[in-house]
């Protein structure tokens, strides 16, 4: 993938000037610097909103002359440059541009600066020809120029502003004939093979061996062997490319075998182009090498003179197959929208005569996929849409990174993943302490809420783990909702229990608070005020009731200093530390142990803050299932004492 323009916007406005941009799709992407790993609750910390508004101003060239092949085109340069264009047809092997009869105010000098092609990215592939000496031929040779498109040529004068420069420019195209391997040809070479035009299931046959062995027919040379490729759209940004026989491509030494992959639908640039090639070890000799080039816009055809996969304006991707390396893979993330070409040719570097009669069948797997290997076990493939542009990407977990979440340089080990899962799940077992205290003091409603919270918190964190240490008993969204609901309602019922309300009012508020929690979590599950709002209301209610008891009894409430020292102060301290950790110390890196500490502190503070049992009641009274008479309790008077 070619590099892109990168600008750091330290001010409110910035601009980029691109002269003679290449036709096609251009993309503008803006992102903020990487954020800190700190986990912040939504609504607790103010967020900054940034607005990005790109504007594009296009200035078009009005006078553009058409340069016809093999016809000299006279030009005169004085103040302004001259703009020309030439159409490059398909199967053009070479383009030659030459300046003739160049003169400057009657002299023999040729101060002309010729630029061929359009501007792309900072790695500009424009070709420049500077002519200063008229004694030598001034020409530019472009191998494999882009097919089926107009090529822009800009001529500028290197002389002064008042110096007249005159010349003629000639464009010569070398176009060869392709040997097209189509469906009818394969049928002719397989007369006994029954085929279905929709599936084209044609195995390799002996007819392949004679395919294209002659490099010319009737005096017209062939420059390539073109294999027809079928495009099969499987899904969004998911395409398979099949040769006509569905599997293999014949590769010989006399000319390259070329396959065209059409990635020009507008959405094809949002995935990854994957190319896999392999050859059977028994069909390739030790001195034989299969060179492969992958290029956009035009194929690489000059295997006999160079192996660098460079065309006129594109640096291709080289691959090779041999006896020591029988498989080759190439992945191109977000390929540009264009026709891509796969070129293969047999090469014998040590003894070329060995390749004259050799033929090799290369098996291919060509596809456009949204994500590499579906992002693997440590990632999730996401299909995203931004302002009408559809693209896919991997969201990696457990420290894995890369295009397909396959880079483990910063990844967690399996032991670390299991340790994190055990800490986050088993830390919830400390809720057995408030459950036991609640049953001991006959607070069965509170005990049931704590048991609910412990159960769903354990299995939510078991399902929330990346990688291998994962266990989901329900779908993730349900477990998350139940965990958040249980945490909020646990705090709510604990504070209401501490407020020492009358039983009827207490259970009415408990039910109403649970309904409010359920509604607010459905509206915004990550908002901090969904939990803080009801809890602050419960705290105000508790303080109000305690102040009322103090005034009614004319004594500090609770009355026992042992209750304050051994229960309330430790419980409040643990709750304060838990809130501080939850609000300011939790990050993505330390989440598994800071959140585990949050679980333990929350459970411990709940066990300390629960009010004592009625001094007239018996321990574990509510756990007995025997039937007996009970004295009805008068709830009209609050006669509880704190011991």
Sign of CA pseudo-dihedral 335, 341, 342, 347: negative
In order of 156, 226, 302, 471, 559, the CA distances from 117 in angstroms are 14, 26, 21, 57, 90
CA distance 590 to 487: 21
| Confidence band for 535, pLDDT divided at 50, 70 and 90 | confident
* The model's pTM: 0.72
Question: In the predicted model, what is the mean pLDDT of residues 204-224?
Answer: 49
> Which residue segments constitute the domains of the chain, with CATH numbers given?
65-168 (2.60.120), 224-370 (2.60.120.680), 414-609 (1.20.1070)
Burial of 31 (0-12, 13-18, 19+ CB in 10 A): exposed
Structure tokens at 161: 């502003």
Kind plus residue range of the DSSP H or E element containing 188: helix 183-189
- Contact between 173 and 69 (Cβ < 8 Å): yes
- What are 6's two structure tokens? 């990168």
Rama region for 635: left / alpha / beta (φ>0; ψ in -120 to 50; rest): alpha
CA angle 67, 123, 402 (to 5 degrees): 135
Q: pLDDT band for position 387 (50/70/90)?
A: confident
Lowest mean pLDDT among 204-218, 328-342, 405-419: 204-218
What's the confidence (pLDDT) of residue 619? 67
pLDDT per position as a tens digit, 458-494: 999 999 887 777 889 999 999 999 999 999 999 999 9
- Return all residues near 129 (Cβ < 8 A) that are at least 6 apart: 97, 99, 113, 114, 115, 116, 138, 139, 140
Share of the chain above pLDDT 70, in %: 83
Report d(CA 16, CA 181) in Å as an integer. 46
Vertex 615, ends 612 and 617: CA angle to 5°? 100
Task: Show Cβ contacts of residue 36 under 8 Å, excluding neighbours closer than 6 positions.
Answer: 587
As a whole-number percent, the residues of the chain with pLDDT over 90 amount to 25
Bridging pattern class, strands 257-263 and 248-251: unpaired
pLDDT tens digit string along 114-164?
889 887 765 667 888 887 766 667 888 999 999 999 999 998 888 777 788
Instruction: Give me the helices (H) in 499-586, please.
Output: 503-523, 529-553, 561-563, 569-580
* End-to-end Cα distance, the chain: 74
- Give, for 338, the enclosing helix (H) or strand (E): strand 338-347
> For 139, phi and psi rounded to 5 degrees?
-145, 160
Residue 253: strand, helix, or coil: coil
Rounded mean pLDDT, 177-185: 72
Q: How far is CA 301 from CA 42, 293, 309, 354, 516, in A?
A: 58, 9, 8, 21, 71
Q: What is the pLDDT of residue 108?
A: 59
Q: Rounded mean pLDDT of 495-521?
A: 89
Q: Give the pLDDT of residue 199.
A: 33
Alpha helices in 499-528 (DSSP H): 503-523
Q: Residue 626, CB half-sphere, CA atoms under 13 Å: how many?
A: 5
Higher pLDDT, 77 or 87: 87
Token output for 619: 């321990």
How far is the C-alpha of 359 from the C-alpha of 233, rounded, in Å?
32
78 pLDDT band (50/70/90 cuts)? confident
Sorted by sequence, the CB contacts under 8 Å of residue 388 that are 6+ apart come out as: none
CA distances from 572 to 78, 367, 566 (A): 87, 61, 11
Three-state SS string across 110-161, please? CCEEEEECCECCCCCCCEEEEECCCCCCEEEEEECCCCCEEEEEEEEECCCC
């Amino acid at each position: 993938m070619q590099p892109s323009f990168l600008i750091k916007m330290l001010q409110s406005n910035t601009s980029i000037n691109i002269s003679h941009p290449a036709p096609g799709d251009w993309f503008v992407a803006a992102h903020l610097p990487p954020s800190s790993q700190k986990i912040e609750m939504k609504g607790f910390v103010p967020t900054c909103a940034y607005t990005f508004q790109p504007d594009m101003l296009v200035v078009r060239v009005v006078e553009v002359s058409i340069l016809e092949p093999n016809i000299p085109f006279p030009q005169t340069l004085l103040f302004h440059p001259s703009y020309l264009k030439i159409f490059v047809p398909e199967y053009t092997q070479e383009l030659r541009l030459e300046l003739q009869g160049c003169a400057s105010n009657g002299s023999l000098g040729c101060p002309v600066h010729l630029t061929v092609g359009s501007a792309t990215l900072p790695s500009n592939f424009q070709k420049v020809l500077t002519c200063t000496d008229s004694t030598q031929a001034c020409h530019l040779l472009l191998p494999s120029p882009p097919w089926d498109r107009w090529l822009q040529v800009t001529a500028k004068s290197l002389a002064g502003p008042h110096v007249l420069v005159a010349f003629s420019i000639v464009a010569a195209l070398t176009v060869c004939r392709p040997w097209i391997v189509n469906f009818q040809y394969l049928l002719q070479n397989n007369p006994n093979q029954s085929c279905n035009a929709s599936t084209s299931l044609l195995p390799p046959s002996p007819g392949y061996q004679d395919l294209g062995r002659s490099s010319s027919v009737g005096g017209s040379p062939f420059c390539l062997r073109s294999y027809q490729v079928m495009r099969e759209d499987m899904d969004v940004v998911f395409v398979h490319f099949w040769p006509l026989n569905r599997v293999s491509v014949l590769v010989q030494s006399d000319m390259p075998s070329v396959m065209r992959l059409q990635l020009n639908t507008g959405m094809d640039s949002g995935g990854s182009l994957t190319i896999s090639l392999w050859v059977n070890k028994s069909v390739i000799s030790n001195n034989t090498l299969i060179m492969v080039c992958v290029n956009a816009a035009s194929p690489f055809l000059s295997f006999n003179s160079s192996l660098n996969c460079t065309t006129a304006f594109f640096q291709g991707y080289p691959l090779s197959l041999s006896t020591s390396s029988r498989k080759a893979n190439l992945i191109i993330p977000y390929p540009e929208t264009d026709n891509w070409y796969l070129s293969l040719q047999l090469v014998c570097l040590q003894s070329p005569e060995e390749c004259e009669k050799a033929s090799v069948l290369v098996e291919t797997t060509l596809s456009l996929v949204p994500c590499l290997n579906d992002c693997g076990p440590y990632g999730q493939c996401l299909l995203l849409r931004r302002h009408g542009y559809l693209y896919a990407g991997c969201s990696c977990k457990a420290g894995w990174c890369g295009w397909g979440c396959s880079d483990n340089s910063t990844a967690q080990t399996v032991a670390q993943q299991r340790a994190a899962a055990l800490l986050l799940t088993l830390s919830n077992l400390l809720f057995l302490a408030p459950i036991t205290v609640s049953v001991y003091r006959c607070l069965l409603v509170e005990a049931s809420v704590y048991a609910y919270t412990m159960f769903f918190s354990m299995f939510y964190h078991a399902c929330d783990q990346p990688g291998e240490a994962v266990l989901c008993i329900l779908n993730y969204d349900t477990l998350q909702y139940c965990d958040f609901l249980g945490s909020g309602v646990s705090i709510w019922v604990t504070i209401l229990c501490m407020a020492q309300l009358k039983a009827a009012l207490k259970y009415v508020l408990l039910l109403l608070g649970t309904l409010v929690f359920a509604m607010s979590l459905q509206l915004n599950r990550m908002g901090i005020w969904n939990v803080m709002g009801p809890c602050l209301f419960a705290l105000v209610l508790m303080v109000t009731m305690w102040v009322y008891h103090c005034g009614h009894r004319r004594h500090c409430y609770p009355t026992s200093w042992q209750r304050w020292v051994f229960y309330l102060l430790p419980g409040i301290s643990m709750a304060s530390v838990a809130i501080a950790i939850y609000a300011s110390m939790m990050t993505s890196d330390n989440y598994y142990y800071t959140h585990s500490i949050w679980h333990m502190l929350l459970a411990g503070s709940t066990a300390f803050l629960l009010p004592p049992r009625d001094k007239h009641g018996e321990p574990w009274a509510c756990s007995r299932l025997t039937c007996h008479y009970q004295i009805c309790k008068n709830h009209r008077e609050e006669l509880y004492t704190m011991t």
